[in-house]
């Protein structure tokens, strides 16, 4: 009996060595962000969701911006729904411009939590979907930490039965001593640039592997339960007189193929004539840099995340964002390969 017990213990030890180093997946399918103003799924988007067995969507419901005329935060871009949201498990996502927390004080931050909560519940009722979690998307800074965290703390206390999560940049994690740890249940690391213009025109602002590698060592020790979001999207950066002016979302080189307006050189587009093209005002001499993430770059991002994963793995793998223009460049098999890399 003693010998048998010893063999059993040896077996357990070897099993731990062989299998314990790779945590089991908590997620059996990826999730997607939905970031358009009208919720309506194309045939290609429906096929993608079905093929990947997606059950959960993180859906942007509205933005909160600073209204200078009213001197108050204001919701804008409220989601319209033409398809049934109730087909999926929905996590409402609210984007809040960091300027809001620069303009309001602690008391107003707590009041904002009640207003945001009211707006979420009204939209859920009107668009006929339930939810068990809320996510707040805000690129907060150390200077706005106190107001933002007061908002989060109040929102969490209002919704004790719900999970509250926030989006995190790699800087939020790498410099957590400076940014602080949000008072929430969980966080989602956006492993890409979101909406900050990058003045360095010689690199891809969406995904910079050298920068991300340098800052990823803190991921596995971050105290919040972590999910991770990977980029599938593209954009164009419009510059005038050498200065980045604005982002043009969901743009690829093919969108600037009209030779009467543009000249294309590699990933750069040069504007030949002043005028309005597809609703955008251009000036002669403007330059446009088209940036996108290729499948091999997304695999590189997933590999970095795998190497620095929390001991228990990631709670969820999310792709940004669900759009047929993105899916055209990332077929089902490529998305599956990327997803399968992550614990």
pLDDT digits (tens, 9 = 90+) for 303-320: 999 999 999 999 999 999
Query: Residue 250 has what pLDDT?
Result: 85
Decide yes or no: CATH 3.60.21.10 for domain 25-232+293-341: no
For the chain, the domains span: 25-232+293-341, 234-292
Contact between 236 and 290 under an 8 Å Cβ cutoff? The reply is yes
Buried b (16+ CB within 10 A) or exposed e, 68-84: eeeeebebeeebebeee
pLDDT (0 to 100) of residue 25: 72
134/138 Cα distance (integer angstroms): 13
Q: What is the residue whose two structure tokens read 């025109």?
A: 201
Report the SS3 class of residue 146. Answer: helix
Note the pTM of the prediction, 2 decimals.
Answer: 0.89
Q: Is 66:97 a contact under the CB 8 Å cutoff?
A: yes
pLDDT in tens, 130-150: 999 999 999 999 999 999 999
Query: Would you mind telling me the total number of residues written for the chain in this entry?
Result: 343
Which pLDDT does position 12 carry in this prediction? Answer: 44
**The two three-digit tokens of residue 7, written as one number:** 């063999």
What is residue 24's predicted lDDT score, i.e. its pLDDT? 63
Given a cut of 70, the residues of the chain with pLDDT beneath it are 1-24, 194-203
Neighbouring residues of 123: CB distance < 8 A, sequence distance ≥ 6? 61, 62, 78, 79, 92
- C-alpha dihedral sign at 216, 21, 301, 227: negative
pLDDT reported for residue 242:
84
- At residue 210, the pLDDT reads 87
Q: How far apart are CA 26 and CA 164, in angstroms?
A: 18
Nearest CA among 89, 54, 59, 90 for reference residue 336: 54
């Amino acid at each position: 009996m003693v010998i048998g017990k010893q063999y059993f213990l040896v077996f357990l030890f070897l099993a731990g060595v062989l299998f314990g180093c790779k945590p089991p997946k908590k997620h059996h399918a990826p999730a997607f962000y939905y970031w358009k103003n009208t919720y309506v799924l194309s045939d290609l988007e429906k096929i993608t969701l079905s093929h990947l067995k997606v059950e959960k969507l993180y859906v942007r419901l509205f933005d909160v911006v600073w209204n200078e005329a009213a001197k108050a935060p204001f919701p804008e871009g409220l989601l319209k729904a033409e398809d049934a949201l109730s087909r999926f498990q929905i996590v409402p996502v609210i984007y809040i411009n960091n300027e809001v927390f620069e303009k309001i004080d602690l008391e107003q931050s707590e009041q904002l939590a009640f207003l945001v909560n009211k707006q979420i519940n009204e939209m859920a009722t009107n668009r006929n979907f339930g939810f068990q979690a809320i996510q707040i998307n805000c690129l907060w800074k150390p200077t706005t930490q106190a107001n933002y965290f007061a908002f989060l703390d109040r929102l969490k206390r209002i919704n004790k039965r719900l999970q509250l999560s926030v989006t995190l940049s790699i800087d939020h994690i790498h410099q957590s001593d400076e940014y602080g740890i949000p008072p929430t249940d969980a966080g989602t690391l956006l492993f890409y640039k979101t909406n900050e213009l990058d003045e360095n025109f010689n690199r891809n602002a969406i995904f910079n592997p050298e920068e991300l590698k340098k800052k990823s060592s803190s991921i596995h020790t971050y105290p919040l339960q972590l999910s991770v979001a990977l980029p599938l999207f593209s954009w164009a950066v419009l510059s005038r007189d050498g200065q980045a002016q604005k982002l043009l979302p969901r743009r690829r080189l093919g969108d600037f193929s009209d030779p009467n307006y543009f000249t294309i050189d590699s990933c750069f587009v040069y504007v030949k004539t002043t005028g309005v093209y597809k609703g955008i005002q251009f000036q002669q001499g403007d330059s446009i840099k088209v940036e996108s993430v290729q499948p091999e770059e997304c695999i590189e991002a997933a590999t970095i995340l795998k190497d620095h994963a929390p001991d228990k793995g990631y709670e969820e793998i999310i792709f940004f964002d669900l759009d047929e223009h993105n899916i055209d460049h990332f077929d089902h098999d490529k998305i599956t390969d990327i997803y399968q890399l992550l614990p």
